[in-house]
Amino acid sequence: MMHSASRTTTLAVPRAMRRPRDRALHVPLVAVVLLASIAVAAPWLAPVPPNQIPSDGLITASSPTMAHPFGTDPLGRDVLSRVLYGARVSLGVGTLSVALAVGFGGVIGAVAGFMGGVVDTVLMRLVDVLLAIPRLLLLLVVTALWESLPLSGLIVLLGLTGWYDVARLVRADVRALCGRDFVAAARAAGASPARVLWRHLVPHLQPTLLVLGTLGLANAIVLEASLSFLGLGVQPPQASWGSILGDGYVPGGRRWWLTLFPGIAVVSSVLTCNALADALRRRFDGRQVGV
């Protein structure tokens, strides 16, 4: 980011002088665990099956009551159950796609950084081109063209569009870490450079990957919600927070419960991820650096 030659400025200001940073990490971590637990425990927490359309009664959206604490959606399905099950989808899709993105991007970045030369140039130019295509637009096009994309397809799609930043940063780190001297030194010590690279690189990259992964998760959740909102993400009758929002969206509608509850679910997850990323960054850098 910024060129900084401020060695002479921050004199004798001990690191310990600033506020303890560990505390800031606890809150988001607890929230993450909480959200994950809710997602996992959905079948036990949900009062009724999420796709159950009432056989009696009106097939219409109704405001919250004791029987339906979050109200019902236009097909009469219980919104609370759908939000709970939706957590599994939204969080699951997000997490898996990020894992894919980080893994894929990490490998590409490491290969490019390690091998250098033509391979590096080709890979990085490829990243430049892929970065030029706006992500949502691309996702929109693909999900709309390939109708009824299974959930796994959605995960792969999100993953394959989210690895660029990871690749770039990993490549930079790898390049910084190992020049030609490194390879020579490793060989002189009798070890295979790839092996030493692996042993030293991964712990070194951990902070970067963690922060990128957390931020990527936040993005993925929002993207999935956006796509599902447009009807292009998860397929009905599967519930995802975005699709609940989309199902309930009627221009001019006054059904606040269909906007509020799934929305809060999304916002709290994304907020948790962002807060976690902030705390992680502070922990690893000692000071907040950019977004």
Q: Which of 117, 190, 203, 251 binds other proteins (CB under 8 A)?
A: 251
Q: Which is nearer to other proteins, 197 or 221 (CB)?
A: 221
For the CA atoms of 147, 248, 274, 129, the dihedral, rounded to the nearest 10 degrees, stands at 30
In the complex, the smallest distance separating the C-beta of residue 92 from other proteins, rounded to whole angstroms, is: 18
9 is a contact residue toward other proteins (CB under 8 A): yes
Q: Which is nearer to other proteins, 110 or 247 (CB)?
A: 247
Q: Which of 200, 207, 230, 238 binds other proteins (CB under 8 A)?
A: 230
270 is a contact residue toward other proteins (CB under 8 A): yes
Q: Which of 235, 271, 283, 284 binds other proteins (CB under 8 A)?
A: 271
Q: Residue 83 — φ and ψ, nearest 5°?
A: -65, -40
Do 93 and 220 touch, CB atoms closer than 8 A?
yes
Q: Which of 117, 134, 190, 203 binds other proteins (CB under 8 A)?
A: 134
58 is a contact residue toward other proteins (CB under 8 A): no
Supply the DSSP symbol for 190.
T
14 is a contact residue toward other proteins (CB under 8 A): yes
229 is a contact residue toward other proteins (CB under 8 A): yes
Do 95 and 257 touch, CB atoms closer than 8 A?
no
How far, in Å, CA of 154 to CA of 143, rounded? 8
How far, in Å, CA of 246 to CA of 73, rounded? 10
In the complex, the smallest distance separating the C-beta of residue 73 from other proteins, rounded to whole angstroms, is: 15
For residue 72, the cross-strand partners are 78
Helix, strand, coil share of the chain (percent; to 5)? 70, 0, 30
In the complex, the smallest distance separating the C-beta of residue 152 from other proteins, rounded to whole angstroms, is: 17
For residue 78, the cross-strand partners are 72
Q: Which is nearer to other proteins, 1 or 58 (CB)?
A: 1
Q: Which is nearer to other proteins, 10 or 55 (CB)?
A: 10
Do 102 and 212 touch, CB atoms closer than 8 A?
yes
220 is a contact residue toward other proteins (CB under 8 A): no
* Alpha helices (H) along 41-116: 42-45, 79-115
Q: Residue 193 — φ and ψ, nearest 5°?
A: -55, -35
Angle between the N-to-C axes of helices 193-229 and 256-285, in degrees from 0 to 180, rounded to the nearest 10: 160
In the complex, the smallest distance separating the C-beta of residue 195 from other proteins, rounded to whole angstroms, is: 36
Measured in whole angstroms, the distance separating CA 200 from the mean position of its chain's CA atoms is: 26
Angle between the N-to-C axes of helices 164-177 and 193-229, in degrees from 0 to 180, rounded to the nearest 10: 160
How far, in Å, CA of 245 to CA of 229, rounded? 6
118 is a contact residue toward other proteins (CB under 8 A): no
Q: Which is nearer to other proteins, 109 or 186 (CB)?
A: 109
DSSP-derived 3-state class of residue 21: coil
How many residues bind other proteins (CB under 8 A)? The answer is 61
Q: Which of 30, 136, 191, 194 binds other proteins (CB under 8 A)?
A: 136
Q: Which of 10, 44, 180, 190 binds other proteins (CB under 8 A)?
A: 10
250 is a contact residue toward other proteins (CB under 8 A): no
Would you tell me which residues interact with other proteins (CB under 8 A)?
1-14, 16-17, 20, 128-138, 140-142, 144-146, 218, 222, 225-226, 229-230, 245, 249, 251-252, 254, 256, 259, 263, 266-267, 270-271, 273-275, 278, 287-291
